[in-house]
Structure 1
Amino acid sequence: MNSKPFLNTVLSPRLLDLYDISNCVVVIIDVFRATSTIATALYNGAAKVIPVDSVPRCIELGKITGGITAGERDGKVVEGLQHGNSPAEYPRSFIEGQTLVLTTTNGTKLLHMALERGASEVITGSFPNLSTVCDHLVHSGKNVILGCSAWKDKFNLEDTLFAGAVIQRIKEHFTIHCDSSLMAENMYALHQNDMPSFIRKTTHWHRLAAYGMEKDLDYCVSIDVANVLPVYTNGALLVNPQ
């Protein structure tokens, strides 16, 4: 009898319905840039991050909580919000002790989809908190869904590469019969030593680099620079609440 939990990689939010996620830890992955920004804000002392899936809700919750409203659509800051989705906008000197209310094109949408479909736990992951995510998944003993936020439901490379980095580290602890996971791991193995150059070929890099965000994007593929575990609890992402 196989006692290892299962791990699957979902390459787009459009594919989430194909999986039973009710007994799973779902890792929301949005490397460029939502889950990199979430890890960074919490690492730098944010009290919590409230992820919302619409701009009006973001503005409303900002007023209710007194929080900082932030987010983007199509890579650009949304009119009516105070800040964007750049990790560089949230140094400790600015964000410590604050509530961040965040809405983004892809990542916050997938997070709410996972909650609606009954995930037993939702966390967020990106290269800046890779090790903490991996440690948590191994110790949880639960089935795992690596959920790539993609770009408007279309496959993207950077989220898949992060899934591959996770799988490379933790695969011996899981049963993996999943071609998307195999592909993600092989792709990461091929490119892990040339990530800064390879990532520049991606569609999303070119989309965001056009707005002058190259430093952001380099940061988003830097391993363990904001090594905390954001866990969704009672409507907000908190640092690994016990």
Structure 2
Amino acid sequence: MNKPTLYTCLSPALLHLYDVRDCIVVVIDILRATSTISTALYNGAKEIIPVDSVEKCIRLGKEMACITAGERDGKIAEGLQYGNSSFEYPREFIQGKILVLTTTNGTKLLHMALAKGATEIITGSFLNFSAVCQHLVEMKRNVILACAGWKDKVNMEDTLFAGAVVSEVEQHFNINCDSSGIASNLYQLAKDDMYEFMKKNDASHYHRLTKFGLEKDIRHCLTLDLANVLPYYMNERLVV
């Protein structure tokens, strides 16, 4: 039996090189959009509406009387109520509520994949690693691991997550893709302590968030299966 294919796209700027139409696209934005999405849904959020602009986020928040959240360059965007930290969405706050979210990289990439005709989009983070891998293996469909990076540049943490997924599911897929090999090899080097690996190798996002005093966020976002749900995009919303 023919195995499905798996490719890794290390930056949104490279997405045009991949045919996403008959694939499961896994949107990856570890620090911090897809980690926040997993956490909020795990903690009982009714749904998350990912939008690609602050203006749309504010407008929907008013129209629907729901929570607006998001960041630009790592800080809460002006006009929004909350930021992009998992710690802002405990169960007692988010349960049963709708969250409208916009982020610098992750929500933008999701809308790029939609514009290219993606028919199935899920979001991946270390916090929901097992749910993502299990879904990919069970569905037996072609996969694109799509890293959000940072403003179209490749970043370390999204690449590490893609590598973790490749390492976990590789026997179920045909993988003839240097990006997947690079990601997998990087993950093998880092897997014993990804936080220290990012610190030691001067990861740009490590510096950006540490500068804002967010070391706790970084450690949290690199932890396996703390919010092990599968965020699935349907009808312009992310739901479990």
Question: Which bin holds the TM-score, normalised by the shorter protein?
Answer: over 0.9
**Residues 66-87 of structure 1 deviation map (CA, whole Å, 9 limit, x = unaligned):** 2100000000101100000000
The 2-side partners of 1:52 and 1:196 are apart by 29
The 2-side partners of 1:218 and 1:64 are apart by 36
Runs (4+) of structure 1 exceeding 2 A deviation are none
SS at match of 1:193: coil
Aligned to 1:213: 214
SS at match of 2:192: helix
Q: Is the 8 A contact 2:156 2:203 kept in 1?
A: yes
**Residues 193-218 of structure 1 deviation map (CA, whole Å, 9 limit, x = unaligned):** 02120122311010111111111110
SS at match of 1:22: coil
Q: CA deviation at 1:64?
A: 1.8
**Residues 73-126 of structure 1 deviation map (CA, whole Å, 9 limit, x = unaligned):** 000101100000000000001000000100000000000000111112000001
How many residue pairs are counted as aligned between the two chains? 238
Q: Is the 8 A contact 2:195 2:218 kept in 1?
A: no
RMSD between aligned residues = 0.7
Query: Which ranges in structure 2 are unaligned for 5 or more consecutive residues?
Result: none
Q: If the length of structure 2 is used for normalisation, what is the TM-score?
A: 0.98
Describe how 1:1-242 pairs up with structure 2 within 5 A. 3-200=2-199, 201-239=202-240
Q: Is the 8 A contact 2:39 2:227 kept in 1?
A: yes
The 2-side partners of 1:90 and 1:145 are apart by 29
Q: CA deviation at 1:186?
A: 0.7
Q: If the length of structure 1 is used for normalisation, what is the TM-score?
A: 0.97
The 2-side partners of 1:87 and 1:61 are apart by 21
Overall identity of the aligned pairs, in % = 62
